[in-house]
Amino acid sequence: MLTVHVILNAHLDPIWLWPWQAGMDEALATCRSACDRLDHNPDAVFTQGEAWVYHQVEQHDPALFRRIRRHVRAGRWALAGGWWIQPDCNAPGAIGFEHQIACGKEYFLEHFGEFPEVALNPDSFGHAATLPGLMTDAGQKYYIMMRPQEHEMALPARLFRWRGYADGPEVLAFRIAGSYVARALTEEHLRAACGALPEGITHTMCFGGVGDHGGGPGEALIAWIREHREAFPGLRLEFSS
């Protein structure tokens, strides 16, 4: 029996090709929707990274920020990523990465009293060899990414230990199958998440929610997960982070 941890999330891309105000609007609308979903579904869990997103909510909708903090304290809203923004992971040098990780860490510690151990860059195109060392120095042990996808580059497994260079620091990395967001899940999504796992691994992750630029999970998706917990042979679904 494989346990599929369904990660409800909202890929936010506020530095995409649009005015920053549009990115801010997406952040506010997504976080408001996510709070509503958690209020209505006591078994659901939501995951969100990027300190910039939380900062925008804090500045422009303090009441919504208080709702988020209540869900975080209750274990319903998971802090992930921890960096200031989800970056390009090809071009920046080590100092640039180090600075933006530090900015995110400072924000999360100040406002939530914790810094995520899981770094989350699902839509970053490339992953510099400096990153495992920088994440380790910041106290992060795990890394979740998607690109390059299976058709672009072969990796040892979906779950693997990543060192940027020989004998360097390592983090435990997971490559998302298919997509980091999905308005609706299917058995195909779930089976893909179970592929290429190392021998003996009985847990995997499948990501769901509305993207590419925010929205989060809808009521129909949450209900589907609940109704299909034991619907597929050999699989058990769980709301997770």
pLDDT tens track for 156-197: 999 999 999 999 999 999 999 999 988 999 999 999 999 999
For the chain, the straight-line distance linking the first and the last C-alpha, in angstroms and rounded, comes to: 20
Q: What is the pLDDT of residue 196?
A: 96
| Interacting residues of 139 by C-beta distance below 8 A, sequence separation 6+ | 105, 115, 117
Q: What is the pLDDT of residue 214?
A: 82
**Res. 17 pLDDT band, cuts 50 70 90:** confident
- Mean pLDDT is lowest, of 44-53, 70-79, 203-212, for 203-212
Residue 89's CB is within 10 A of a number of other CB atoms, namely 17
Task: Find the largest Cα–Cα distance for the chain.
Answer: 49
**In angstroms, rounded to a whole number, what is the distance separating the alpha carbons of residues 216 and 31?**
8
Q: What's the pLDDT at 184?
A: 94
Total-model pTM:
0.96
CA distance 48 to 30: 10
User: Which amino acid does the sequence have at 48?
Assistant: Q
